[in-house]
Structure 1
Amino acid sequence: MTRTAFVTAASAVAALVIAAPTASAAPHAVHVKSGRTSVTVAPAITRALLSKGIVPIVTRPGTPSLTTVGHQLTLKATYPVTGGALTTSPLGGDITHKGGLKFANVFNGRSLEVGNFTVDLNKGQLTGLVAGTTTRVPVFKLDLSTAHVKLTKCGADATNVTLHLTSEAAGALNSTLKTQVFSAGLTVGTADTHPRF
């Protein structure tokens, strides 16, 4: 092999080594420091719940408010982001929160509360801790196909994430509240999350 051919071959190998990803390479994660996440309940769901005597109550430090969707009044719940870690390429990781959501049946006095929500982008779900237990359950499946995502140096913004009730949550709510108003896959509403790094 001539010296020129040897140098050319060596350069090609070096280029391949540099370009090839290593087996231990992992997406860079950034620590989430603060922010907020809001859940807007679909107006039809708000009406269906209230008609069956089911009242959703936002628990502290979450804050409730009223908003309109398509000129129809509905409930909005906003929760402070407390931590987590996100990868930006690909988008993944988790976002943790404080506060919760309590469902109370005014007809029989039964209730169920979940809180300390975690948005798990890797699994595409929002989980919650059942009040008074150490049990964490998947509450919503996240439909990101409807979402608008924007990444900046100081945070991320994901809006219009559609929330579908999981079978686990629907079963627990129906069983505890003694109702049949909840069903697996029910489109409960949308979420907007704004974690800050």
Structure 2
Amino acid sequence: MLARSVVVSAAAVAVGAMAVSTASAAPHKVHVKHGTTTVTVAPAVAGALLSNGIAPIVTAPGKPAAVKVDGKLTLAATYPVTGGTLSTKPLGGTIKHKGGLKFTNVFNGRSLQVKNFTIDLTKGRLTGQVAGTTTRVPVFKLDLSKASVKVTKHRLNAENVILKLTPEAAGALNSTLKTKVFSPGLTVGTASTHPTF
């Protein structure tokens, strides 16, 4: 069976295009059922956070893990995919998750938690709900320039999606935690997502 290529485009982030191989013809729109997404923090960022007293804590049902990137220890968090809708021509739509990430300043006890992440492939961003509110904010911009993406009949596999901190998230974290460690555009790490449909 011949694979076909489609162009992946993130309209809100001008990061270029890449080829997406499909093992078979997929519906124009599909409903996401299950899967996982793993976020891996860049070792330099993990070190900078800890040295400034900022502790990132993965909240349930997310699962934390200690991993090595380029021989350096860092944090990874895996979250269950709970739903969403994807289009494959071109690739777009949303992937929803449960679980979150809580940032705590151990020097003053202040914290901020975002949860229930949604990957928006159409807008090229990842949003999260601020815990204790109904407010949803853009947390990361998705940089697809070095990503590997494949779509098969029942699964999307996206690897090495670069996560860059949005100005909104950087401002909220600095203000709430009373720190200056977060900066807009900071490359926090990478994400790999594997939703099934």
TM-score by length of 2: 0.86
Aligned to 1:80: 80
Shift of residue 121 of structure 1? 0.5
Residue 164 of structure 1 pairs with residue 133 of structure 2: no
Task: Give the SS at the match of 2:45.
Answer: helix
In structure 2, the partner of 1:14 is none
Distance 2:133 2:182 in 1: 22
Q: Which residue of 2 aligns with 1:179?
A: 179
Relative contact order, CA 8 A, sep 6+: which one is greater? 2
Structure 1 gap ranges (5+) = 1-26
Cα deviation code 1:122-153 (max 9, x no counterpart): 10000000000000000000001110001111
Q: 1:151 aligned to 2:151?
A: yes
- Residue in 2 that maps onto 1:46: 46
Determine the C-alpha separation between the residues in 2 that align with 1:88 and 1:155.
Answer: 11
AA in 2 matched with 1:76: A
Secondary structure (helix, strand or coil) at the match of 1:145 reads coil
* 2-structure distance, mates of 1:107, 1:28: 50
Residue pairs, 1:1-197, within 5 angstroms: 28-197=28-197
2:152 aligned partner, one-letter code: T
Alpha-carbon shift at residue 154 of structure 1 (Å): 1.2
How many residue pairs align between the two structures?
A: 171
Note the alpha carbon deviations across 1:103-127, whole angstroms, 9 max, x for none: 0000000000000000000100000
The one-letter amino acid paired with 2:46 is: T
Residue 28 of structure 1 and its aligned partner are, at CA, apart by: 1.6
Instruction: Quote the residue 1:24 is aligned against.
Output: none
* Distance in 1 (alpha carbons) for counterparts of 2:125 and 2:133: 20
* Aligned-partner Cα distance in 1 for 2:106–2:113: 14
Aligned-pair distance for 1:164? 0.2
- The structure in which a higher percent of residues are helix is 1
How far 1:79 moved relative to its partner?
0.1
- Following TM superposition, by how much is the alpha carbon of 1:89 offset from its aligned partner in structure 2, in angstroms? 1.1
Superposition RMSD in Å: 0.7
In 2: Cα distance, 1:156 partner to 1:172 partner? 32
Distance 1:66 1:146 in 2: 24
More strand by share: 2
1:50 is paired with a residue whose SS is helix
State the secondary structure of the residue aligned to 2:176: helix
In structure 1, distance between residues paired with 2:190 and 2:97: 17
The letter for the 2-side match of 1:66 is A
Distance 1:139 1:54 in 2: 17
Secondary structure, aligned partner of 1:146: coil
- Structure 2: gaps spanning 5 or more residues: 1-26
Distance 1:175 1:116 in 2: 22
